[in-house]
Structure 1
Amino acid sequence: MLGSGLSNQVGASVAALAFPVLGPVGVVAVRQWVAAAVLLGAGRPKLRSFTTAQWRPVLGLAAVFAAMNLTLYMAIDRIGLGLAVTLEFLGPLTVALAGSRRRTNLVGALAVAAAVVVLTRPRPSTDYLGIGLALLAAVCWGCYILLNRTVGKRLPGLQGSAAAAAVSGLLYLPVGVAVLWLHRPTVPALLCALVAGVLSSAVPFLADLLALRRITAHFFGIFMSVNPVFAALVGLLVLDQHIDMASWLAIAVIVTANALAVGTVAQHPKEKKAP
């Protein structure tokens, strides 16, 4: 789990190194192609046998997958890795909080709201477009979780996720080719994009798969909370992106709220809402 979270955030930081040459769109295109290759090899979906009822959530998942990565990378380009990933993390946190009506989670939601205010407080250097893109990525991640549940119920194994990744890769094919044609990639930039695709798609996918064979899903969900912390640390060490103490405290509040929310839902499954 440590390897998965760290690989994902290091991959994002490596991707940011290619932004000046390829831009976020070009880097995301390469990442989507890598993800499609990995998931198609692992899931081997039988596309011809899919019914309309199965294709519908798969196509929705593909669109959300494509939009989530694009908005996140565009946000990273504008507001930095730590802040962008923390705001994106509000997506799964909202899903977790919505799964319980306990008072502790209501308090957690209020604490998270206060933390978000701290993270996005107006300053001379505040990039509101970047914040908006990160919040849009959060919405996409929340939808991604809910659609994944539906896909998992309608299709066996990894077939649904693999098909969605393939469609997402196809969506980026004309856009990615156009971007790479207009912004001729240098060898270092292209290598950064490829490495980002491997570190942020292939490695986390395989690591998560192995981890989930050994631990419970709710513990895995709790441990996902380290991603904003890893993002802030990697942004500092790799990209020299500094955040102030108030932002660190806000990240800590969001991480703690997620851990409590996921743990509470796991202990009280009857409170979960129907998908």
Structure 2
Amino acid sequence: MPNSQLIAVLFMVLSMVSYQISASFAKQLFLVLDPLTVVTLRLCFASILIVLMFRSWKIIKRLPYLKWKNLLFYSGSVCLMNVLFYASLGKLPQGIAVGLEFLGPLTLALLSIKQKSDYIWVCLAIFGIALMVPWQDATAQNFSYIGAAFALGAGVCWAIYIYYGQKVVRQNIGMHALSIAIVLSAMVLLPISAVHNPDALLQTQYWGKALLIALLATAIPYALDLLALKRLSKMSYGTLSSLSPALAVVSGMLLLNEHITTVQMVALVCIMLASIGVTFRAKNTEQGD
């Protein structure tokens, strides 16, 4: 595997592991704070972290000259994706929430296919996602139609995030694009949360955990995602992301004591095989070029 592609895959794996651990921590925080407050605190802390990390005040002079249409779509997708995913996480087991959310980028990967031989990996990933969701027991206590709708909405935002993320990186502003997206998201959500539940925002005893979630869920994974998008196609990125439900189930099991069934174990195998398959397919394509 070429070094650039190997590095991109490594970036994605680290991004997904970091994000799923943060999701488990966030779900623990839902016991004392509502999801909107948690995501708002996370994005507020993340905006500070990212601006400091990337010294994004340097981009201020260039703001009037940027392509704001792409940046606004990118920023809006980041904001809505986080809100909807946390809303779904409050109503569904972590693995199921992430599995449903993944249908968004998976659809994007399907639309990006150019060779018929690639369909086997996308179909395998779809089969894995289908097994992940307890369709036969949809009325069970651990499944919510509203939560599923939130997760699917987050998936649509995830697909938009991937699409416009590839456009944003072409503006040559580096990680400052992420800073702009996170700061705008925080600015939008902070007044909404202040009206929704002002007392929750001021419970400073939970700020430390919110800061940790911000680091694991925003600063680290989004930065790694932008780096990966420079080296991977939408097809490769979308299908490699199929590791997310598998990592979510493992994280939920280890950190939240959420159990998985034998059928879901089979789903994990299907998802990981699809990820491995598309990685080797991308390798062969690059060598052929």
Q: TM-score normalised by the shorter chain: which range applies?
A: 0.7 to 0.9
Q: Alignment length, in residue pairs?
A: 265
Give CA deviations for 1:208-254 in whole Å, capped at 9, x if unaligned. 38x86xxx657x95765443222111101111111211122223323
Q: Is structure 2 residue 35 aligned with structure 1 residue 24? A: yes
Contact 2:74 2:181 in 1 (8 A): yes
Q: Which amino acid in the other structure matches residue 265 of structure 2?
A: W
2:83 counterpart (53, 56, 70):
70
- For the residue of structure 2 that corresponds to 1:79, the secondary structure is coil
Write the mapping of 1:45-64 to structure 2, written as runs, cut at 5 A. Answer: 46-51=59-64, 54-64=67-77
Q: Is structure 2 residue 209 aligned with structure 1 residue 192? A: yes
Query: Which range is displaced more, 141-150 or 15-24?
Result: 15-24
Partner of 2:100: 87
1:256 counterpart (262, 273, 278):
273
- For the residue of structure 1 that corresponds to 2:136, the secondary structure is coil
1:13 counterpart (24, 34, 37):
24
Q: Percent identity?
A: 24
Query: In the aligned structure 2, how far is the partner of 1:179 from the partner of 1:267?
Result: 52
For structure 2, the 5+ residue unaligned runs are: 1-9
Q: CA deviation at 1:8?
A: 1.8
Over aligned residues, Cα RMSD in angstroms? Answer: 3.0
Q: CA deviation at 1:183?
A: 3.4
Q: CA deviation at 1:99?
A: 2.5
Q: Which amino acid in the other structure matches residue 36 of structure 1?
A: S
For structure 1, the 5+ residue unaligned runs are: 270-275
Q: CA deviation at 1:53?
A: 6.2
TM-score when normalising by structure 1: 0.82
Q: 1:229 to 1:185 in 2, by over 3 A?
A: farther
Partner of 2:111: 98
TM-score when normalising by structure 2: 0.79
Q: CA deviation at 1:52?
A: 6.8
Contact 1:17 1:192 in 2 (8 A): no
Give CA deviations for 1:93-117 in whole Å, capped at 9, x if unaligned. 3333333232232233333333333
Partner of 2:249: 232
Q: CA deviation at 1:18?
A: 1.3
Query: Which range is displaced more, 221-230 or 14-23?
Result: 221-230
